Amino acid sequence: MKIKNIDGLSPQDLQEEEAKGGRFVYFPYTISFLFITLKRTSDVYMVRHGESAVKRGIPFTLLTALFGWWGIPFGPKFSLEALRANLKGGKDVTDEVMQTVAGHLIFQEAQQHKAQETNFRL
């Protein structure tokens, strides 16, 4: 999973940002070509405390508004779903991302503990 807007933050920094109200979201979008409708999602974005998730989703909202409606029969349905989600600030996946961050921290701690044991034996 690729996360945008984290700018090299450490797992601890991500936990701090999440505690302040930051969240992780993705934005659905729809593109239609008469009888073919593609329902897709953006990468995951970190929306920091105080940032507007709706503003971050504008490109995907515009893409859907311009190119999502034209597919028969699913274009309008998928477009409305995507627009509704994006105008609410995207789909929140903060819990899933933070579980991965917590797992990474546990792994780092285990690696450090193992390195300390190895150094102690030498």
What is the predicted pLDDT for the residue at 106? 74
Cα angle vertex 40, ends 34, 36, to 5°?
Answer: 15
Residue located via tokens 């945008």: 4
Stated pTM of the model = 0.83
Residue 88 has pLDDT above 90, yes or no: yes
Spatial distance between the Cα atoms of 34 and 16, rounded to a whole number of angstroms:
46
Cα angle vertex 88, ends 17, 79, to 5°?
Answer: 130
- Domain ranges for the chain: 3-121
pLDDT in tens, 16-54: 999 999 999 999 999 999 899 999 999 999 999 999 999
CB 85 within 8 A of CB 28: yes
- State the angle between helix axes of 75-87 and 58-67 in degrees (0 to 180), rounded to the nearest 10: 160
